[in-house]
Structure 1
Amino acid sequence: MLRVSFTGVQGRGYSLQASLALDQAWQPLNNFFPKTSGKVSRTISPRVSRDRFFRLVTLANP
């Protein structure tokens, strides 16, 4: 299990991504779309090994 917490902004989307190395491609694991601004906290079960890098990126507004 992976616990993800961050401060989100209402109306924005966020994507949690993983990679085996910082110079390799990033794969999306989960998208978040907060209904209100403030702390976003989720527990997810990624189907990846524990030996990975993770990042959270802001999605482009539709």
Structure 2
Amino acid sequence: MRPAREKGADVRGYLAWSFLDDFEWGHGYGPRFGLVRVGYRTQRRVPKQSAIRYREMIKNDRDG
């Protein structure tokens, strides 16, 4: 993303998505993938450790 921004790309947002998210659907929502765990009953979203690390990586890159 940084090289694109440095070349003048108008980056207003970014969506972290992975091909593994598609496997969750294919396995009947048994295994959990992605950065956030969602409670199916309550729809409560809880960031996983990977989401926290990703947030720190973005913050450090922005500040750095």
TM-score after normalising by structure 1: 0.25
Greater RCO, 1 or 2 (C-alpha within 8 Å, sep 6+) = 1
Q: Which is richer in helix?
A: 2
Q: Which is richer in strand?
A: 1
Larger Rg: 2
